[in-house]
């Protein structure tokens, strides 16, 4: 007797090969690491980590575990001592006098975090180095653009900085740049720490700084003065690559090609545009490094009748003999932020005062990590600030 075949209902391909469902309880565990962030300091010197400690204290976090040091042959070595996989990493790098070492520390740490599978690597660089080399000079190079390319290649995905020397530097980067402003903190210092500031006048030590000075004057409802004359040496007056190749004697010129002759610049005698007699003079700028121009400006303002002179700047680099020159000058006080460590200079010159800007940097870190808008940090900020 032939056997009967038992026919089973056909199975659909989708039901037969459907992937097993993932356990819902496992999902939060996989994503938990991706919601965290860590803050590292890339400096090998203790004096440069002070700002990083202030920022982490405001964030209620701890500095990431890492080791940054120089080997006996001068090479920089960075070791990350904890897992950073899938996290947002913020590298705080303040720039000491040894600029090139600080740049290498930042590059090597960024690359180490990149190879350790960090999700995002954000550089917090309050003072961006080589920012003065952002224009072509003769047969030189735009070093700031080179540094921007190196940071991108090392693995950085975002940068937080403060008061770039030229705001157009942001265009050198292939990733977002948040250029914060220190002016709210300096304006607050003027209002709270300078007695009788209503009798002050904001001074630009050269026409190049006039826009910044005008912004301060308008916010404080004060007068404006500009120093102009032959004692100033503006960046615009320097030769650039458009004057090369150099002129050669007896050079052959194409017949019929007669270019108009450009007259050489001749600066007028030094003058102060604006009344400073019997007033407090407040000189504002973004960087104070070589202080000779500030000392000269202070002497001129004293001759014009200013009875007290303040200098306000975001970045107090104060190189070489700057503390001694300030101490011996007519300047009564120099106010800078802590974007650059200058504790040694303060010991040499008690006229130097510091304004802490860790509050705005910590808030920027918090907002970027949480995906919040940065507009609050730029409220009432103009292009000239």
Domain layout of the chain by residue ranges: 38-180, 184-232+269-355
Domains 38-180 and 184-232+269-355 share a fold: yes
User: Given a cut of 50, is residue 232 above it in pLDDT?
Assistant: no
The model's pTM: 0.82
Which residues are CB-contacts of 91 (< 8 A; sequence separation ≥ 6)? 40, 41, 42, 106, 109, 110, 113, 121, 122, 123, 124, 156
Query: What are the tokens at 215?
Result: 């912004």
Q: How far is CA 348 from CA 12, 45, 318, in A?
A: 84, 20, 11
Maximal C-alpha separation, the chain = 128
CB atoms under 10 Å from CB of 144, counted, come to: 21
Note the pLDDT of residue 253.
58
What is the pLDDT averaged over residues 291-304?
94
Note the pLDDT of residue 254.
64
User: Given a cut of 70, is residue 17 above it in pLDDT?
Assistant: no
Note the pLDDT of residue 47.
76
Tokens 């950073």 locate to 84
109-113, 163-167, 249-253: the lowest-pLDDT one? 249-253
DSSP conformation class of 63: B
Note the pLDDT of residue 268.
77
Note the pLDDT of residue 45.
80
User: Given a cut of 70, is residue 240 above it in pLDDT?
Assistant: no
Nearest to 334 by CA among 84, 324, 217: 324
Tokens 């975090």 locate to 113
Give residue-wise pLDDT tens across range 106-145: 999 999 999 999 999 999 999 999 999 988 888 889 999 9
Residue 42, phi then psi, degrees to nearest 5: -95, 5
User: Which CATH number is 38-180 given?
Assistant: 3.40.50.2020
For 184-232+269-355, CATH number out of 3.90.1170.50, 3.50.50.60, 3.40.50.2020, 3.40.50.300 equals 3.40.50.2020
CB atoms under 10 Å from CB of 53, counted, come to: 16
């Amino acid at each position: 007797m032939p056997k009967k075949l038992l026919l089973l209902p056909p199975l659909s391909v989708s039901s037969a090969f459907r992937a097993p469902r993932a356990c819902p309880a496992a999902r939060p565990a996989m994503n938990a690491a991706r919601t965290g962030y860590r803050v590292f300091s890339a400096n090998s010197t203790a004096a440069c980590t002070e700002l990083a400690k202030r920022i982490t204290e405001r964030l209620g976090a701890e500095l990431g575990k890492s080791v940054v040091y120089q080997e006996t042959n001068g090479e920089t070595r960075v070791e990350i001592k904890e897992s950073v996989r899938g996290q947002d990493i913020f590298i705080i790098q303040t720039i000491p006098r040894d600029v090139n070492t600080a740049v290498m520390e930042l590059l090597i740490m960024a690359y180490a975090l990149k190879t350790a599978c960090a999700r995002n690597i954000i550089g917090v660089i309050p003072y961006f180095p080589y920012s003065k080399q952002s224009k072509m000079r003769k047969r030189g190079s735009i070093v700031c653009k080179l540094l921007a390319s190196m940071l991108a290649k090392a693995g950085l995905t975002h940068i937080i900085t403060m008061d770039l020397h030229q705001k157009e530097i942001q265009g050198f980067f292939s990733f977002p740049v948040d250029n914060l402003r220190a002016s709210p903190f300096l304006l607050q210092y003027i209002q709270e720490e300078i007695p009788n500031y209503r009798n002050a006048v904001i001074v630009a030590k050269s026409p190049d700084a006039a826009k910044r000075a005008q912004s301060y004057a308008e916010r404080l409802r004060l007068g404006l003065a500009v120093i102009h004359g032959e004692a100033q040496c503006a960046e615009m007056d320097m030769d650039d690559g458009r004057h090369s190749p150099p002129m050669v004697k007896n050079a052959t010129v194409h017949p019929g090609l007669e270019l108009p002759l450009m007259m050489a610049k001749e600066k007028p005698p030094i003058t102060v545009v604006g009344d400073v007699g019997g007033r407090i003079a407040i000189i504002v700028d973004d960087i104070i490094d070589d202080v000779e121009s500030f000392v000269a400006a202070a002497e001129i303002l004293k001759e014009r009748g200013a009875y007290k002179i303040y200098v306000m700047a975001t970045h107090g680099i104060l190189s070489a003999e700057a503390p001694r020159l300030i101490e011996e000058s007519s300047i009564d006080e120099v106010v800078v932020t802590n974007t650059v460590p200058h504790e040694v200079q303060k010991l040499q010159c008690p006229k130097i005062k510091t304004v802490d800007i860790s509050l705005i940097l910590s808030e920027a870190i918090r907002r970027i990590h949480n995906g919040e808008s940065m507009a609050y940090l730029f409220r009432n900020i103009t292009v000239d600030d």
